[in-house]
Structure 1
Amino acid sequence: MPKSLYEFTAGNIPDAPRSDLPELLTALAADLRQVDYTLDGVAGLLGESAYTALNRDQIIPALLVAERAERRDKGAKALAAVVRLWLLAEPQPSESLDAALPGIRAAGLQELGLVEPVPGGSLLAAKADLRPYGWDANEDGSGGAELWVASDLAAHQQEGVLRHDHVLGIGQASTTLVQTTFRRHTKRALDLGTGCGIQAFHLLHHCEHVTATDISERALAFTRFNILLNAEALSVDPARLEDRVSLRLGSLLEPVAGEDFGLVVSNPPFVITPRSAGEETSGQFTYRDGGLPGDEIVAALVAGLPAVLAPGGTAQMLGNWEVPAGAAWHERPQGWVPDGVDAWFIQREMVGPEEYAETWLRDASEGRDRQHYRDAYAAYLADFESRNVAGIGFGMVLLRRPVSPGQAAFNRFEEITYPIEQPIGPHLGAALERQDWLAANNISEAHLLVADDVTEERHQRPGAEHPGVILLRQGAGLRRTNLLSTELAGFISACDGDLSAGQIAGALEALLGGGGDVQGTGEEGFDAGSFRSGLLTDVANLVRDGFLIPAAD
């Protein structure tokens, strides 16, 4: 069977936790639950200040608090030992782990590959990171989860440069994608480049079956371990894993060629890394480096993902793209989108080559060797210079395959660098629904309301009769601000659902055409047709962006 179609089922991959020992996994989950090794439990033990520092990968405050808690509170001793072992990567005596986790004990942790003996002593050190993860329930009490996630130890938990087949844990990019994905039920979902399985966890809560792919056997081993450790919370039967999850080994879309999915999510290895002649994949950081020059891996996915989407299916991913000197940021991404595909790119930031190099050299702890750091930094700059790159953009990509092949596609490229509401996924989904509504309805016949989160802001010079600037602001979602003309502001003020957009436009048209505009100044050479058309176009844009919403029938 070709490697790209290999169905991953192994439970014992070197240097990855074992997932073929169900009794030990059950015992571990029960022990972790009993000791309250949860997000709330850890936060309660450490306190707000130390817990916040730990989320910045600063472990010293948490170490100090955990030591004090052990001495002061016997009830906290078990949880403190677990926190110190995994979150703080501090070796622990085997007897402390036996007491804290009596079901699995230290011997069971060793058998699973989660700890290993420290040479020359009686202590056990974390061989992998294992930490609580979860999300809150919906308002109706459904959808919440408390889980545990295993991954490789992070840079702040170990010495030296990360191993090249490092399996990343819960990082900022993965949580960004979680927040960006809009959740809807679908039969088949794809997590492309699953890593340790974070996206798959969320997909399992609203999709019937999840296919998770990765080019790394170790990543798939961690994903399998994590799913089986959390089988109950994820509604997975450990004896029938394949009923809900398929793990595939392979590169990009090769493992799923010829299949289609209602939803695809991907946090791909999008980091732009200098290429060198004769390099081998063993020298690449597989969790972030796709092995292609420049931004070609993101370009390949944007071009290829629509082929694995079912009609009406969506794909959401993160990515980097190069911005050549003198070019607009969206010029390159715009050329990647296939004809007939809906595409929405939101650039969240753009950095220069120097800052980009510093970020990713720091990410893999490559600054610990001064000469290596200097050579690698220079290679980044030379690589970008060879393609005349002035900046590197980062952002969110949403693709959708239209239901009908002849359906008109929309492409949108925008830059939003200010803080937005999180999770943003529900708002992106609502925006797609409004886009579809606009395509199916005549805006002139629509009855509209002002969205609940929208406010109006007026600015005028002291003593002026009328405002010089009128702004419409969103308090939720993408938190856009729209500069309004006086006529458009007048239109919005009449949007209470009673009159249609055409009727309101007609009233404003009559007012202006009758010799007076809404400010009472009059307007010569008034073109009623152009006014009405332009106004309704602006109104449609406000509906698309969520300032105005259709009134319920």
Structure 2
Amino acid sequence: MTDSTLFLAGNTPDAPRSDLPDLLAALAADLRRVEYTLDGVAGLLGESAYLALNRDQLIPALLATERALDGARAGGDPAGGDPAGGDPAAAALAAVVRLWLLAEPQARATLDAALPAIGADGLVALGLVEPVPGPALGDPSGPDSSGQDLFQARADLRPYGWDANEDGSGGAELWVASDLAAHQQAGVLRHDHVLGIGQASTTLVQTTVRRHVSKALDLGTGCGIQSFHLLHHAEHVTATDISARALAFTRFNLLLNAEALHLDPARLEDRVSLRLGSLLDPVAGEEFELVVSNPPFVITPRTLGEEASGQFTYRDGGLPGDEIVSSLVRDLPSVLAPGGTAQLLGNWEVPAGAAWPERPHSWASADTDAWFIQREQVGPEQYAETWLQDASESRDRQHYKDAYAAYLADFASRNVAGIGFGMVWLRRPPGSGPNTELISRYEEITYPIEQPIGPHLGAAVERSDWLAANSLADAHLLVADDVTEERHQRPGAEHPGVILLRQGAGLRRTNLLSTELAGFVSACDGDLSVGQIIGALEALLGGSLAGEEGFDAEAFRSGLLTEVANLVRDGFLLPAEFSE
């Protein structure tokens, strides 16, 4: 059987099986019963241990679960501060947490008691656990001190979810399977490692503008996290990956969470299409209203004659430099429907002596809306350290030295002084023509921003579209609710030397105001139009400004109008109809 046939059949080697519906249903029922959820795990561990676990620090969680198990065995002592209090349910949850989140082997009897519907044998059949290889204590089957068989996690399975909207819609509690992470196993990660829920994937989740669409594409799905969110606002999702194992994990996760994702397990294809292939090859000739991608954007040294099996498929695109991201920026508009958008994360190289936007700007098509936000820039050394540690390649000193040197030589060959990371938003404009005003923004925002940022990005696009379609001079504006003003002046000074406008939400920008622009903002209560306020300011300031050499009243009006448009675009000022 081919790789694609195998993952579609639900029985891909070294991946959980999704062709055993009764066992999947039993597992889901058991996990719900022991409250293996984000809140359930947090409640069991306590706040400090739970936060440490989120930093991949396992010891506090190990200690907390040991206390829970010891308390259950001894009958519990709530007065003594025992978190389990002798509660068998807490002990069952502790065993599940130890098995998957902490990668601690568990005895057969423990698993059978904690997950009675599926039991240890069912977990083995699904490919989620395996017997601990012997000999252990002289027995090849690997028993514990009581003579019971021990089982270890073969894959990571952890709770994941998000809150519902204010109207009660859209929330979900799920379980996500992936390969064991570096902190859960010894040695270097396998090259076809299927990444779990990481910082990059959650960043893309928070960045995506959520709107109802008929067709969405999850390009490079990995374990499927982006698809889970898309299914809550897309009628159909196509998920692609170059890795058959990744698609097998995605299929397993979709079917395990079929109820929460509103899927019919017997008719998965009605809402989800899983396709094997590289980049846009699996969807050539199709169009989507929304594309999201956390692509394998890591810039990795390439060697002559290397094969794909020598790359980490979850992060290495197989192309030199930043070509994986540049090719996507150039080609994604070809699969977008009119008005369709694409959002992705990426790295880009910054050559010595160049401004960071130069390369990204050269990738964007002249007939495509593009918005790049650089969130971080690091040097070649820090970049090499980050990704060598990511795959546990620092555990072998000689390998680490050779790989580190290869990174530095690779960047030096292209005169790279820095590597940027950030968010990319693209759109195929809904219309075309010589008067179409495209969005073209390249900005660096390295400070903390509000999350999720997706709604604010969507609102910014709406404001840009409004500016392109309306006469700003005729508009009535209001100051956004989250905006405050700061004034700084020397002691005893008659007027402030610095006036700042700050946003408390969204991208949390700060804008330095001129005296006339500050006066304009203070008058934005919705009563007067933009043109009327500018006219009043010109009349009010005319006496002092008219005496200035070279003062041009028309330039004053047009310059102020441009600055006002920027405040609207950035969300400091809003058209009155936006607040209705």
**Which residue number in structure 2 is paired with residue 61 of structure 1?**
60
- Measured after TM superposition, the shift of residue 408 of structure 1 is 2.7
Task: Tell me, yes or no, if structure 1 residue 408 matches structure 2 residue 433.
Answer: no
Which position in structure 2 is the counterpart of 1:536? 561
CA contact (8 A) 1:11 1:19 kept: yes
Equivalent residue for 2:105?
Answer: 91
Amino acid at match of 1:425: G
Kept in 2: contact 1:8–1:249 (CA 8 A): no
Cα 1:466–1:280 shift into 2, 3 Å? same
Report the counterpart of residue 489 of structure 1 in structure 2. Answer: 518
Match of 1:477?
A: 506
Does 1:338 pair with 2:365? Answer: yes
Q: Please give the alpha-carbon distance, in whole angstroms, between the structure 2 residues aligned to 1:280 and 1:118.
A: 33
Which residue matches 1:306?
A: 333
Q: How far does residue 10 in structure 1 lie from its aligned partner after superposition?
A: 2.3
How far apart in 2 are the matches of 1:119 and 1:198?
Answer: 32
1:41 Cα offset (Å): 0.3
Residue in 1 that maps onto 2:312: 285
CA contact (8 A) 1:340 1:408 kept: no
Q: 1:537 to 1:2 in 2, by over 3 A?
A: farther
Q: Partner letter of residue 165 of structure 2?
A: N
Partner of 2:124: 110
1:238–1:361 CA distance, 2 compared to 1 (3 A): same
In 2, Cα distance between equivalents of 1:336 and 1:472 = 33
1:212-361 aligned at under 5 Å gives the runs: 212-361=239-388
CA distance, structure 2, for counterparts of residue 505 and residue 523 of structure 1: 19
Q: Distance in 2 between matches of 1:524 and 1:357?
A: 56
Counterpart Cα distance in 2 of 1:55 and 1:210: 29
Counterpart code for 1:88: L
Cα drift, residue 410 of structure 1: 1.9
- The answer as to whether partners of 1:470 and 1:485 remain within 8 angstroms in 2 is yes
C-alpha distance after superposition, 1:398-457 (max 9, x if no partner): 000001122232211000000000000000000000000000001000000000000000
* Structure 1: distance between partners of 2:219 and 2:5: 15
TM-score of the superposed pair, with normalisation by structure 1: 0.97
8 Å Cα contact 1:7-1:246 kept in structure 2: no
Q: CA deviation at 1:338?
A: 1.1
| Displacement of 1:523 | 4.9
Q: Map residues 66-77 of structure 1 onto 2, 5 A cutoff.
A: 66-72=65-71, 73=84, 74-75=86-87, 76-77=90-91
Letter in 1 for 2:55: R
C-alpha deviation, 1:8, in angstroms: 5.5
Whether the aligned pair in 1 keeps the contact of 2:6 and 2:12 (CA below 8 Å) is no
Do the aligned partners of 2:156 and 2:177 also contact (CA within 8 Å) in 1?
Answer: yes
Aligned equivalents of 2:541 and 2:33: distance in 1?
72
Instruction: For residues 346-401 of structure 1, give each alpha carbon's deviation from its aligned partner in whole angstroms, at most 9, with x where no partner exists.
Output: 00000000000000000000011110000000000000000000000000000000
In structure 1, C-alpha distance between the alignment counterparts of 2:153 and 2:383, rounded to whole Å: 31
Q: Which structure has the higher relative contact order (CA within 8 Å, separation 6+)?
A: 1
Identity of aligned residues (%): 82
- Are 1:7 and 1:248, in contact at CA under 8 Å, matched by a contact in 2? no
State how many pairs are aligned.
Answer: 548
1-structure distance, mates of 2:227, 2:295: 14
Q: What is the Cα deviation at residue 526 of structure 1?
A: 3.5
Quote how far apart the aligned CAs of 1:6 are.
8.1
* 8 Å CA contact 1:454, 1:547 repeated in 2: yes
- Give the secondary-structure state (helix, strand or coil) at the position aligned to 2:394: helix
- State how far apart, in whole Å, the 2-side matches of 1:256 and 1:479 are: 37
Inter-partner Cα distance in structure 2 for 1:280 and 1:391 = 27
Distance in structure 2 (CA, Å) of the matches to 1:523 and 1:70: 81
- 2:216 is equivalent to residue 189 of structure 1: yes
Cα distance in 1 for residues equivalent to 2:280 and 2:522:
50
Worse-superposed segment, 81-90 or 8-17: 8-17
Rounded to whole Å, the distance in 2 between the matches of 1:217 and 1:458 is 58
Query: What residue number does 1:462 align with?
Result: 491
Conserved 8 A contact 1:35-1:79: yes
**Displacement, 1:516?**
3.8
Shift of residue 499, structure 1, vs aligned partner: 0.4
**Residue 178 (structure 1) aligned with residue 205 (structure 2):** yes
**Which deviations, in whole Å up to 9, do the C-alpha atoms of 1:245-271 show, x marking residues without a partner?**
000000000000000000000000000
AA aligned opposite 1:416 = I
Q: Deviations over 1:202-225 (max 9, x none)?
A: 000011000000000000000000
Shift of 1:512: 2.1
In structure 2, runs of 5+ residues without a counterpart are 72-83, 135-141, 143-148
CA separation in 2, counterparts of 1:524 and 1:280? 69
In 2, Cα distance between the equivalents of 1:374 and 1:350? 23
- Superposition RMSD in Å: 1.5
1:6·1:255 contact (CA, 8 Å) conserved in 2?
A: no
Report the Cα offset of residue 71 of structure 1: 1.3
Aligned-partner residue type, residue 529 of structure 2? S
Secondary structure of 1:9's match?
Answer: helix
- In the alignment, the residues of structure 2 paired with residue 490 and residue 2 of structure 1 have an alpha-carbon distance, to the nearest angstrom, of 69
Q: Does 1:502 align with 2:531?
A: yes
Distance 2:253 2:7 in 1: 14
Is 2:374 the counterpart of 1:366?
Answer: no
Alpha-carbon distance between aligned partners in 2 of 1:202 and 1:430, rounded to the nearest angstrom: 20
Partner of 1:368, secondary structure, is coil
Report the Cα distance in structure 1 between the residues aligned to 2:551 and 2:300, rounded to whole angstroms. Answer: 58
